């Protein structure tokens, strides 16, 4: 009983929970000079209404002037130190500068301020001894003004620096602005934060909140038509060539020309993924199959991508001839190239496809369906607003100074826009309270949230095989917009579940506030009847293998480009958010998908069982009512379709009472995450290609053969039943075919002379007959069908 109770407790722990955060903006009353302190009063706004208000004391250090030099060195290396209670923030120091400019903002969380004085010190950096004191400015917390957006930024002012005795005698001046604000302040993202005071050096840039934009991706279609005057190195034999195309790290080849000729033809398409700004060139090489194991480069050409035509519909673009550069001419042979009277050339039709959507996500969780070309975009149909509130109960992800810690940040991805919250250091219950907005172009899309541990702040963390640190996964949440009611705020706490080789683990909870606002209900209804992807995906579709390869290349390009931002959105984060490993074999996923298919047929199975009970007269009253309904439909066949649709309408109205009240969540039972065996999980997390020992690989291979054998048997049985239908009229079994033809002739005559209502009534009465008139043996049609031969007899 205890194990069952624990399992039930785990199931409840893995469920989504309702939360009731205090959303909206609550502003302090007073706070101006002469005010009466910090008294709260509510003020309705629409700027930051999906997050809990967080107050910060902001100190903007702009610059200083007329700072006195050190009497010993006659120089000064000034920096500023802002102190509020136990928290200290420092600017960088300037060497030998009496009028430095810092332009830096410090933010101190009001909840953690334990002092009523704000002190701003100016010091002289000393590399050997203690830093020298130059001067300071003090502010009373009760006198600090409050800035209420959308007011303009507070203007900084000059303040005279005082010595330790409070005297202002030629100590210089400093320009400052001090105010009380919230996370809605535009200074918030770039500010130094007191809750990340332990982060030093380059790590400061890795904790800031940022918005990233996907690079603009294009499909580059290269139609290789033909080439002329191809000369191999060995001129005694005609060349048999193929064309190899390369864009960045992507390499594709045409088929080998079947004929050995200097004028080969292919007419093949090579499709690449390219990103703006176009940094790579299209490099085409013509290679000759000199021998079975040797390909020699005959000629090549490099073309910049920005010179190609953009195609916005299905109409073909113009083709062009390009002169090829003969391979082997170097710098010293430049004169030879000019002496060549005739050169090889290649016929190409190249275009940038603007009417396709470049898929960089797994199609089941796609967040954007717009074509690449902006002129083909439609108007947005809604606005998605998300408040990333906080996380609760996060697990320790690494060890710093002998104790566990987690430096968590959250990433959200929807459409072309990625957002990253700031990193809250050494906190298992971080509060971000950051709000973001996206335009929605299709309601049947998915927004993805991921929580990660920042391992680039100077502490410990998980490493890759190469030794480089990677940001560890804490968990992921997906929400499909079509499951949300419009103009309703959803405040829920989502479990962060991660599947590890050791099993399923709950890493904490993510609290979100979400609102989907509709701009045009008519446009939404219109979209439900139109294709999900742009029409070019259906007019000129790619193959499944092409799509998978192109998606992988697009994901790599996105990861590389976002990894070059500051702070970088690292490759491991992008791969996790885009589900790059969704196509890898997993026994657990296979089981989950199999039982998903089984559940699809559960309704049909239940219906067949109910009909079997009616047929067996388990409940005579029900069987009699079915007889009555059957005869009514036989007498009035025009009621059959209206009855079916009315029945479905009534079922839908009845189910409205039990409709889901929350967005969908990760289902551990559906995923078979808890029932997966350790070896299955170890296989799922294995690298590709495998890195396991031979005995483990042999065991897994044998298990896979066993599973495949059962699938093979099922597929064979289905094929056998289908082939028996074909054999009925093929005279493979002459006696069976003769009997079936005689039956068909008799049935045709009988059905012609007998009214349809009589036939249907007799068939229904026969099928619903009482068990006393039934035999336990198989029926005659079943016996006849099972005796028919199939092509399984011809298999080796």
Residue 352: what pLDDT? 94
Residues 527 and 381 sit within 8 Å (Cβ to Cβ): yes
Is residue 25 over pLDDT 80?
Answer: no
H or E element that contains 650: helix 640-655
Is residue 712 over pLDDT 50?
Answer: yes
Residue 335: what pLDDT? 47
Which residues are registered as beta bridge partners of 192?
A: 106
Banded pLDDT at 215 (limits 50, 70, 90): very high
> Using only C-alpha atoms, what is the Rg of the chain?
36
Instruction: Lowest mean pLDDT of 13-27, 117-131, 666-680, 770-784, name the range.
Output: 13-27
Is residue 509 over pLDDT 70?
Answer: yes
Instruction: Lowest mean pLDDT of 40-54, 210-224, 639-653, 670-684, name the range.
Output: 40-54
- According to DSSP, residue 204 is labeled G
Residue 95 token pair: 């060497």
Q: Taken in order 442, 448, 449, 455, is the CA torsion positive or negative? A: negative
Residues 192 and 224 sit within 8 Å (Cβ to Cβ): no
Residue 428 token pair: 């298992």
Cite the beta strand spans of 4-149 per DSSP E. 17-18, 26-29, 39-42, 55-65, 78-84, 87-90, 101-109, 117-124, 132-140
Question: Of 33 and 708, which is predicted with more confidence?
Answer: 708
Compute the distance between CA of residue 712 and CA of residue 721 in angstroms, rounded to an integer. 14
- According to DSSP, residue 164 is labeled T
Compute the distance between CA of residue 209 and CA of residue 565 in angstroms, rounded to an integer. 12
Residue 258: what pLDDT? 87
Residue 44: what pLDDT? 37
* Max avg pLDDT among 38-42, 77-81, 187-191: 77-81
Alpha carbons within 13 A on the beta-carbon side of 694: 0
Q: In residues, how long is the chain?
A: 796
Residue owning tokens 């042999």: 698
Residue 358: what pLDDT? 94
Cite the beta strand spans of 154-313 per DSSP E. 157-160, 173-182, 192-193, 210-213, 217-228, 241-247, 250-253, 265-275, 281-291, 294-304, 309-311
Which residues are registered as beta bridge partners of 353?
A: 219, 311
Q: Where are the alpha helices (DSSP H) in 63-220?
A: none
Question: Of 390 and 793, which is predicted with more confidence?
Answer: 390
The whole-model pTM stands at 0.81
Instruction: Lowest mean pLDDT of 105-109, 339-343, 497-501, 672-676, name the range.
Output: 339-343
Name residues whose C-beta falls within 8 Å of residue 345's C-beta, 6 or more positions apart in sequence.
Answer: 227, 228, 229, 321, 322, 323, 324
Residue 453 token pair: 């541990």
How far CA 495 is from CA of 135, 394, 567, in Å, comes to 51, 10, 27
Compute the distance between CA of residue 498 and CA of residue 478 in angstroms, rounded to an integer. 13
To 10 degrees, the CA torsion angle through 22, 28, 29, 35?
Answer: 160
Residues 363-376 have a mean pLDDT of 91
Residues 535-547 have a mean pLDDT of 91
Is residue 58 over pLDDT 80?
Answer: yes
Instruction: Lowest mean pLDDT of 458-462, 552-556, 584-588, 738-742, name the range.
Output: 458-462
For residue 567, whether the previous peptide bond is cis, meaning omega lies within 30 degrees of 0, is yes
H or E element that contains 761: helix 756-767
Is residue 338 over pLDDT 60?
Answer: no
The DSSP result for 403-472, as a single string, is EEE--EEEEEEETTEEEEPPPBPS-SS-EEEEEEEEEES-SS-EEEEEEEE---SSS---B-TTS-B-PE
Residue 452: what pLDDT? 94
Residue 552: what pLDDT? 92
Residue 572: what pLDDT? 92
* Max avg pLDDT among 51-55, 86-90, 510-514, 781-785: 510-514
- According to DSSP, residue 206 is labeled G
Residue 169: what pLDDT? 63
Question: Of 261 and 688, which is predicted with more confidence?
Answer: 261
Residue 332: what pLDDT? 39
Residues 450 and 473 sit within 8 Å (Cβ to Cβ): yes
H or E element that contains 218: strand 217-228
Residue 26: what pLDDT? 58
List pLDDT tens digits, range 236-255.
Answer: 788 888 999 999 999 999 99
- According to DSSP, residue 24 is labeled B
Backbone angles phi, psi at 23, to 5 degrees: -80, 160
Residue 168: what pLDDT? 57
Residues 764 and 630 sit within 8 Å (Cβ to Cβ): yes
List pLDDT tens digits, range 83-95.
Answer: 998 888 888 888 8
**What is the pLDDT of the chain when averaged over all its residues?**
84
Residues 407 and 453 sit within 8 Å (Cβ to Cβ): yes
Q: Taken in order 525, 526, 527, 528, is the CA torsion positive or negative? A: positive
Is residue 31 over pLDDT 80?
Answer: no
The DSSP result for 312-364, as a single string, is -SSSPPPPEEEEPEETT--GGGHHHHHH-SS--EEEEEEEEE-SS----S-GG
Residue 694 token pair: 């031979």
Q: Taken in order 174, 180, 183, 184, is the CA torsion positive or negative? A: negative
Instruction: Lowest mean pLDDT of 390-394, 581-585, 605-609, name the range.
Output: 581-585
How far CA 194 is from CA of 58, 209, 424, in Å, comes to 11, 15, 10
Residue 541: what pLDDT? 92
Name residues whose C-beta falls within 8 Å of residue 410's C-beta, 6 or more positions apart in sequence.
Answer: 388, 391, 420, 421, 432, 449, 450, 451, 452, 510
Residue owning tokens 């885009």: 578
H or E element that contains 245: strand 241-247
Residues 615-621 have a mean pLDDT of 84
255: closest CA among 263, 267, 246?
Answer: 267
Residues 503-524 have a mean pLDDT of 90
Instruction: Lowest mean pLDDT of 102-111, 350-359, 628-637, 732-741, name the range.
Output: 628-637
Residues 733-740 have a mean pLDDT of 88
Burial 550-560 (b: 16+ CB within 10 A, else e): bbebbbbbbbe
Residue 382: what pLDDT? 92
Residues 105 and 189 sit within 8 Å (Cβ to Cβ): no
Is residue 210 over pLDDT 80?
Answer: yes
Packed helices 587-600 and 694-727: angle between N→C axes, nearest 10 degrees: 30
The C-alpha angle with vertex 263 and arms to 259 and 267, in degrees rounded to 5, equals 80
């Amino acid at each position: 009983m205890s194990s069952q109770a624990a399992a039930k407790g785990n199931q409840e722990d893995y469920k989504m929970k309702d939360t009731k955060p205090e959303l909206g903006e609550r502003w302090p009353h007073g706070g101006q000079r002469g005010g009466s302190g910090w008294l709260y009063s509510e003020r309705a706004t629409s700027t930051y209404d999906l997050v809990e208000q967080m107050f910060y004391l902001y100190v903007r250090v702009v610059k200083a002037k007329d700072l006195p030099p050190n009497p010993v060195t006659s120089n000064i290396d000034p920096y500023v130190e802002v102190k509020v209670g136990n928290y200290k923030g420092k600017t960088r120091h300037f060497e030998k500068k009496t009028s430095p400019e810092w332009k830096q903002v410090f933010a101190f969380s009001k909840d953690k301020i334990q002092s009523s004085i704000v002190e701003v010190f100016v010091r002289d950096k000393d590399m050997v001894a203690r830093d020298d004191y130059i001067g300071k400015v003090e502010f009373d917390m009760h006198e600090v003004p409050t800035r209420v957006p959308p007011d303009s930024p507070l203007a900084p002012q000059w303040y005279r620096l005082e010595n330790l005795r409070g005297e202002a005698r030629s100590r210089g001046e400093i320009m400052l602005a001090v105010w009380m604000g919230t996370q809605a302040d535009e200074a918030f993202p770039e500010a130094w934060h007191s809750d990340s005071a332990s982060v030093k050096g380059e790590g400061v840039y890795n904790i800031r909140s940022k918005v990233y934009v996907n690079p603009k991706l294009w499909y580059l279609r290269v139609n290789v038509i033909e080439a002329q005057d191809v000369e191999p190195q060995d001129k005694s034999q005609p060349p048999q060539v193929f064309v190899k195309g390369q864009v960045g790290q992507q390499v594709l080849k045409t088929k080998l020309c079947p004929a050995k000729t200097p004028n080969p033809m292919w007419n093949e398409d090579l499709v690449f993924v390219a990103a703006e700004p176009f940094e790579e060139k299209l490099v085409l090489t013509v290679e000759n199959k000199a021998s079975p194991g040797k390909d020699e480069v005959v000629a090549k050409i490099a073309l910049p991508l920005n010179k190609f035509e953009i195609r916005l519909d299905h109409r073909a673009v113009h083709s062009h001839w390009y002169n090829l550069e003969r391979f082997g001419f170097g710098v010293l042979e430049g004169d030879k190239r000019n002496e060549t009277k005739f050169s090889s050339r290649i016929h190409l039709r190249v275009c940038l496809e603007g009417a396709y959507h470049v898929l960089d996500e797994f199609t089941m969780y796609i967040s954007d369906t717009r074509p690449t070309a902006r002129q083909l975009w439609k108007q947005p149909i809604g606005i998605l607003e998300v408040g990333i509130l906080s996380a609760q109960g996060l697990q320790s992800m690494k060890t710093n100074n002998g104790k566990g810690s987690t430096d968590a940040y959250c990433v959200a991805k929807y459409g072309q826009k990625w957002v990253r919250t700031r990193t809250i250091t050494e906190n298992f219950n971080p509060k971000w309270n950051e709000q973001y907005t996206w335009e929605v172009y299709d309601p049947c899309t998915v927004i993805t949230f991921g929580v990660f541990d920042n391992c680039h702040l100077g502490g410990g963390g998980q490493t890759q095989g190469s030794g480089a640190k990677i940001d560890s996964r804490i968990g992921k949440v997906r929400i499909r917009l079509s499951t949300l009611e419009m103009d309703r705020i959803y405040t829920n706490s989502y479990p962060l579940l991660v599947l590890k080789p050791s099993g399923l683990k709950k890493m904490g909870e993510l609290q979100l506030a979400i609102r989907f606002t509709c701009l045009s209900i008519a446009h939404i209804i219109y979209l439900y009847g139109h294709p999900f992807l742009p029409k070019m995906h259906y007019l000129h579709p790619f193959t499944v293998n092409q799509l998978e390869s192109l998606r992988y290349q697009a994901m790599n390009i996105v990861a590389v480009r976002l990894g070059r931002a500051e702070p970088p959105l690292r490759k491991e984060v992008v791969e996790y958010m885009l589900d790059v490993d969704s196509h890898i074999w997993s026994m657990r996923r296979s089981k989950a998908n199999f039982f998903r298919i089984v559940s699809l047929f559960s309704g049909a199975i239940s219906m067949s069982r109910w009909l079997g009970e009616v047929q067996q007269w388990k409940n005579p009253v029900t069987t009699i009512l079915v007889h009555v309904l059957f005869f009514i439909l036989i007498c009035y066949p025009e009621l059959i379709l209206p009855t079916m649709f009315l029945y479905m309408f009534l079922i839908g109205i009845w189910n409205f009472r039990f409709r889901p009240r929350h967005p969908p969540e990760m289902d551990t039972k559906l995923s078979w995450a808890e029932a997966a065996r350790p070896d299955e999980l170890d296989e799922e997390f294995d690298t590709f290609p495998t890195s396991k020992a031979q005995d483990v690989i042999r065991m897994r291979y044998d298990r896979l053969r066993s599973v495949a054998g059962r699938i093979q048997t099922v597929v064979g049985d289905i094929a056998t039943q289908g082939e028996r239908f074909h054999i009925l009229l093929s005279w493979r079994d002459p006696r069976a075919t003769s009997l079936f033809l005689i039956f068909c002739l008799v049935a045709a005559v009988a059905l012609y002379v007998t009214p349809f209502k009589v036939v249907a009534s007799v068939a229904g009465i026969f099928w619903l007959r009482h068990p006393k008139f039934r035999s336990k043996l198989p029926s005659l049609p079943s016996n006849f069908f099972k005796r028919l031969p199939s092509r399984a007899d011809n298999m080796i």
